[in-house]
Amino acid sequence: MKNRARKETSELSRRDFIKTSAALGAAAWATGTSRMYAAGSDKIRVGLIGCGGRGTHDTGNCLNAAENVELVAMGDLFKDRLDSSRARLSKSAAGKVKVTDETCFVGWDAHKKVLALPNVDLVVLTTAPHFRPIHFKAAVEAGKHVFMEKPVAVDPVGVRSVIESSALAETKNLTILAGTQMRRIAHLMAGIERIHNGDIGEIVGGQCVRIGDGMTTWGPRERQAGWTDMEWQLRRWLFMTWLSGDFITEMHVHNLDIIDWAMGSHPVQCMGMGGRQVRTGAEFGDAYDHFTVEYEYPNGVRVEYMGAQIDRVSDRCDQWIVGTKGRAYLDFANAIIEGDKPFKYDGQAWNPEIRQHADQIAAIREGKKLNEGKRVAESTLTCIMGRMSAYTGRAMKWDWAMNASKLDLRPPKYEFGDLPMPPVAMPGQTQLI
């Protein structure tokens, strides 16, 4: 499947290009792109910002998604992470990794140095989500196309910034792609298309459940003697709400994004609960290990989310959309509709993680509009508002979270040094900001 996706794009020949550009029509070209690419052949030069596991994975996929894509620069806060990523990519995408010591940057301003390179066309943003709004803004201002991993913020201030930067990208004809890869899974595309066509009637409810895997073996468990508070928290970023947004945001955005997609809308309000029952050690920062959120979508349609990262429990990862004429079951491998118009996807599958990069590279080369910034920002806020409600015990409206919340989890300074661990949230005590 992976091969098929690769072929699709790499076989976009010059003749295909002429057809495609004709189909696009004059209007698309009149607006112009910041840089003109010849079809399927012009080199796309990629910079990677955030050289962790995900950054390495995404960059490998990006380099392999089309011909003539090269990695020319890398940036990370930590040299050890950058070095290991560079070594791995040099193997998995041999010949496509053109970085030199001079185009590898570490430290707090590594992203600026990558973005300052004029030959970088596209950046892959895979730092901890906390940094996404800042790096995204800098990338768009620098005129780069952006692939950014989900989630794209950890607080409403960040979400607003991402939406602004996405609008700016639009004016600069830059493509913005989000790592919410489920949007490109064949079976979900087919199933949700049927939901939108009314195959289950009017939607009246739904459930989104993802339970299992405590992630307790993730990352460095022991704090090393030389690490400051800041370094310790950064290296354990997954479990620091200010860095990851907590798991409801960091990981379960995949699931809640499916719900937003199926509903064709973001929620209008929510009420959440949660806690930290099992994963309570200091090495797990201030993140919760379970959440439940009742999301209310337009027309009073309620979707309940249950999420947990706890080991040795009954594993679940599924979505239900309930309609007046049937219901749809959606998970990462299946799309099944029961009811008046039954359906079971048994068509082709392809690798969405390759496809997302192939789509973006094709869009760049063809000068097509492709901007998922606002959409992924909304899915991110869907998660964030659920977390905020659970942390504080307060119901909240989307409009308030989007427009009025002042929650900003940025630390006073970005520098290695003292940084007390924020207290674990206590519903009824933690302030709603």
Q: Which residues bind another protein (CB under 8 A)?
A: 201, 204-205, 207, 209, 211, 214, 271, 273-278, 289-290, 292, 294, 300, 302, 304, 306, 308, 310-314, 316, 320, 322, 324-325, 327, 392-395, 426-429
Identify the helix (H) or strand (E) that includes residue 194.
helix 186-196
d(CA 359, CA 381): 25
Q: Minimum distance from CB of 150 to another protein (Å)?
A: 23
d(CA 383, CA 401): 11
Q: Which is nearer to another protein, 180 or 292 (CB)?
A: 292
d(CA 208, CA 124): 29
Q: Which is nearer to another protein, 322 or 370 (CB)?
A: 322
* Nearest CA among 48, 100, 37, 40 for reference residue 65: 40
d(CA 14, CA 40): 7
Q: Minimum distance from CB of 275 to another protein (Å)?
A: 3
Q: Which is nearer to another protein, 186 or 278 (CB)?
A: 278
DSSP letters spanning 58-79: HHHHHHHSSSSEEEEEEEES-H
Q: Which is nearer to another protein, 99 or 390 (CB)?
A: 390
345: left (phi over 0), alpha (psi -120 to 50) or beta: beta
Q: Minimum distance from CB of 391 to another protein (Å)?
A: 10
User: Cα-Cα-Cα-Cα dihedral of 200, 303, 192, 326, to 10°?
Assistant: -20
d(CA 180, CA 355): 12
Q: Minimum distance from CB of 320 to another protein (Å)?
A: 7
Q: Which is nearer to another protein, 316 or 341 (CB)?
A: 316
Q: Minimum distance from CB of 247 to another protein (Å)?
A: 13
Q: Minimum distance from CB of 95 to another protein (Å)?
A: 46
Q: Which is nearer to another protein, 135 or 252 (CB)?
A: 252
